[in-house]
Every structure is written in structure tokens, then in C-alpha cells.
Amino acid sequence: MPLSATMVGALLGLGTQMYSNALRKLPYMRHPWEHVVGMGLGAVFANQLVKWDVKLKEDLEVMLDKARAANERRYFGTVFELKVFFLSFRFFFMV
């Protein structure tokens, strides 16, 4: 995955620089160092995007687990506690 993200980012950076030169009607490879910088920045951007996506999925799983636990405490835990309370309440008055 990192290799493909690096290649996609490098191609994105190269394509952006070549498109910029084409819009200005300049030779495609006018300043080769700009293409290298564009490829490097594109590769860094794509790799950071992949890392961010993985972290986002992990954080989402943590949030969903917390929400599930809160819902279980809110609905299932409360119902059980109320049943126990009412049963003990009824038993108290029966004696």
C-alpha cells in the first residue's frame, strides 16, 4: 500500500507541474527541479493521506465501541436494574 500511494502521489505531483507548464504555454520540462519537488510533495501528501485514513478508521472504531457500550448501559443495564428494584419493592410490601 505505501508503494502504490507513493507512486500515485509522485505522478500527481509530476502531472500538476506539467499541467501548470502547459497552461502557461511553457515547455513541459522547463525546470526539472520543480518536477522533482512536485513529485516529492505529491508522494508525501499521498502517504499522509493514507496514514490519516487508517487513523480515522481506528478512531471511528473506538467511538463506535464507546457508543455501543453507552447504549448497552443505558438501555439494557437500566431495564435490569428497574426489574430488580420493582421485584424487591413488591417483596418488601408482601412481607
Task: Write down the pLDDT at residue 81.
Answer: 56
pLDDT tens digits along 12-61: 999 999 999 999 999 988 899 999 999 999 999 999 999 999 999 999 99
Degrees, nearest 5: CA angle 57-12-52: 15
Cα–Cα dist 14/37, whole Å: 9
DSSP string, 47-84: HHHHHHHHHHHHHHHHHHHHHHHHHIIIIIIHHHHHHH
83: confidence class by pLDDT, cuts 50, 70, 90: low
Contacts of 49 (CB under 8 A, 6+ apart): 5
Distances from the Cα of 49 to the Cα of 9, 22, 29, 62, 82, angstroms: 10, 27, 28, 20, 48
Q: What is the pTM (predicted TM-score) of this model? A: 0.65
